[in-house]
Structure 1
Amino acid sequence: TIWHERYLGTTSAATGEIAARGRQHLWLLTDHRGVDFEDDGLRDGEHLRPWMTARFLAQLAHSGRRTVVLTGPHEERLAAAVAAVDALLAEGLHLTDPLPERR
């Protein structure tokens, strides 16, 4: 939904409905601060990074979804992400059924 807004300049009821049906138990949001922008020829919008981070955070807060914002150096971000997932798993949530084994 936010990417739709970013590229088309407007929100979309259709993408909003799809997003509302999401069953994710945890959202990990990587803060743009402290992460250098790397122009790989595909990325654009370095100037939009603060806006995008703020939009993601506002939308996640509005939706009430559990969110962890990952900040700091890479090692701290990874440790925070692993800790958040470990805490979720410790709650006993079953995230999805395993894929059937192929023989």
Structure 2
Amino acid sequence: MHKILLENVRVYTNHGCLNEEELIGSEYRVDLEVTTDLTKSSQTDDLNDTVDYVSLNRIIKEEMAIRSKLLEQVAQRILNRVFKEEEMVKEATVKVSKINPPLGGDVEKVTIQMTQKR
């Protein structure tokens, strides 16, 4: 098996439980790793024989645009879409990070990581 990684996808959106988070928004980072078989595409050089990372990026952007109180829900929606739309994906791990979360302290980021297998 092989991996495709989208790293540090930056999104500004409005997730969170606080009203201020909904109104002001915040910066988020998403990392997505998918496991698949790249043997055929490495030989054919054909986009139809691989997982299209443009599609993966679109899924991330679209799901991050839907407001949620919890990062867990956003991460699960991303995984659900990946498995629904990309049949070649065997396993996926997504990390959703809120940059500078409002925790009352100096915290760089908070990250939710979820993994799912087909």
Q: Counting strand residues as a fraction of each chain, which structure ranks higher?
A: 2
Shared fold per TM-score greater than 0.5: no
Larger Cα-atom Rg: 1
TM-score, length basis structure 2: 0.25
* TM-score (structure 1 length as normaliser): 0.28
